[in-house]
Amino acid sequence: MNYKLEMNGDYGHGVFHVKIQKMFKARMKYDRKTDWLKLYFEQYNFGESQAKHLLITQFVNALIIQKVKKE
């Protein structure tokens, strides 16, 4: 299964998005001192492997789009 976030399909919806959020919370160790810009621009991979990559860049962008859509 490819976890890459895309602008179509299950992007930002349902079980797919929930699964990605759970993976993010399980794999990312963060606190108030986390340098999110550094992780974003380095395109940190929190996916299962390089082949099943989930880049923090994609995840943060998806959260921004989700918030904008709600407003």
Of residues 5 and 20, more confidence is placed in: 20
Which pLDDT does position 21 carry in this prediction?
Answer: 84
CA atoms within 13 A on the CB side of 63: 10
Q: Mean of the pLDDT values across residues 10-17?
A: 52
Task: Confirm whether 25 is domain-assigned.
Answer: yes
Looking at every residue in the chain, the average pLDDT score rounds to 77
Is residue 63 scored above 90 in pLDDT?
A: no
Task: Confirm whether 59 is domain-assigned.
Answer: yes
Our count of domains for the chain comes to 1
Task: Confirm whether 2 is domain-assigned.
Answer: no
Query: What is the DSSP secondary structure assignment for residue 6, as one 8-state letter?
Result: -
Q: Mean of the pLDDT values across residues 52-69?
A: 86
Nearest Cα neighbor of 28 from 59, 64, 67, 62 is: 59
Residues of the domain holding 33: 14-70
Quick check: pTM over 0.75? no
Task: Confirm whether 22 is domain-assigned.
Answer: yes
Which pLDDT does position 33 carry in this prediction?
Answer: 92
Task: Confirm whether 1 is domain-assigned.
Answer: no
